[in-house]
């Protein structure tokens, strides 16, 4: 993990020092903690020894701290929030700038009146314009043809085709699946990030029992910090684990067409 600034490193050292002191006071081996919170011992050793370059992204570290603190009887949520507030700051929405741009658009008051006058003038010209001579000629020809058709003899009725012959056969249409739909069933705590058609639509830590569904027109990418805890169902197929337990993994799903 590459820390963003020196403040993150100092805060992380302070938190991990406190966790190590409590663990040693209780005479608990680090392997016992790792097995209890389902985190690799190499990550917990890197935390306590300050080898932060061997750790994953800050969002994973926040989860490690919370579970580590809870396993020692501390307030793990409070400890993780101390680090998460400086390592994973919330994004600032950009809607205010868009609103400012919209406010600068100005339309003169006289423009609607000018457009209304032009429209009324065109409509009046269409109503008052004389009909072309060609239209009168075609109407007279139509009336003469109608008169001639009245004197013609009625044609003999042809035998109607049988219902079986006249009924068209239905043409089979291919069954298609438009886009891709992925459903998540979380079996244990795991951080999850979802990118739909190149745009991030979700990023958070899910708990056991959470269920989420996401769709995309062309491509859907799922990344999980604990891939074995996330069951994935693609286009309502049988759910399968995203990957192995306690390991991060990224999988991309694309749209398919079934014949």
CATH number, position 34: 1.10.260.40
In a domain, 135, yes or no: no
Q: Which residue has the tokens 């006058």?
A: 117
Total residue count of the chain as it appears in this document:
259
In a domain, 43, yes or no: yes
Considering 87, 107, 140, which residue would you say is the last residue of a domain? Answer: 87
In a domain, 168, yes or no: no
Other CB atoms within a 10 A radius of the CB of residue 79 amount to 22
Tell me whether residue 235 is in a domain: yes
What tokens were used for 243? 């990957």
> How many C-alpha atoms does 62 have within 13 Å on its Cβ side?
22
Q: Helix (H) and strand (E) counts for the chain? A: 9, 8
From first to last of its 259 residues, the chain has per-residue pLDDT tens of: 555 567 777 888 888 888 888 888 988 898 998 898 898 888 888 888 877 777 788 788 888 889 988 988 888 898 888 877 766 655 444 444 444 444 455 556 666 657 767 776 676 565 555 555 444 444 545 444 444 444 445 555 555 555 444 555 655 444 444 788 999 999 988 889 999 999 999 999 888 899 999 999 989 999 998 888 899 999 889 999 989 888 889 999 997 633 3
In a domain, 141, yes or no: no
CA 239 to chain centre: 19
Looking at the domain assignment, is residue 105 inside a domain?
no
pTM: 0.40
Domains: count for the chain? 2
Domain with 78 in it = 6-87
Q: Which helix (H) or strand (E) holds 81?
A: helix 76-87
Q: How many CB atoms lie within 10 A of CB 84?
A: 18
Residue 153 within any structural domain of the chain: no
Q: Are the C-beta atoms of 213 and 183 separated by less than 8 Å?
A: yes
Helices 58-71 and 6-25 cross at an angle (nearest 10°) of 20
Domain boundary among 52, 87, 122: 87
DSSP 89: P
């Amino acid at each position: 993990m590459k820390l963003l600034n020196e403040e993150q490193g100092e805060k992380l050292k302070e938190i991990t020092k406190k966790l190590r002191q409590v663990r040693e006071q209780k005479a608990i081996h680090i392997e016992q903690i790792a097995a209890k919170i389902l985190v690799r011992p190499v990550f917990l050793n890197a935390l306590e020894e300050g080898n932060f370059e061997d750790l994953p992204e800050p969002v994973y570290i926040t989860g490690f701290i919370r579970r580590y603190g809870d396993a020692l009887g501390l307030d793990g949520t409070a400890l993780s929030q101390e680090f998460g507030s400086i390592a994973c700051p919330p994004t600032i929405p950009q809607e205010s700038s868009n609103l400012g741009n919209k406010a600068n658009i100005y339309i003169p008051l006289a423009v609607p009146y000018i457009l209304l006058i032009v429209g009324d003038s065109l409509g009046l010209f269409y109503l008052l314009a004389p009909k072309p001579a060609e239209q009168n000629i075609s109407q007279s020809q139509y009336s003469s043809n109608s008169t001639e058709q009245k004197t013609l003899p009625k044609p003999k009725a042809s035998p109607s085709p049988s219902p079986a012959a006249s009924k068209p056969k239905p043409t089979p249409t291919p069954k298609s699946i438009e886009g891709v739909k992925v459903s998540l069933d979380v079996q244990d705590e795991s951080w999850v990030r979802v990118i739909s058609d190149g745009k991030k639509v979700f990023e958070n830590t899910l708990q056991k029992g959470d269920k989420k569904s996401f769709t995309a027109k062309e491509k859907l990418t799922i990344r999980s910090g604990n891939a074995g805890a996330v069951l994935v169902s693609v286009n309502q197929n049988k759910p399968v684990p995203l990957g192995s337990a306690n390991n991060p993994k990224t999988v991309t799903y694309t749209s398919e067409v079934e014949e």
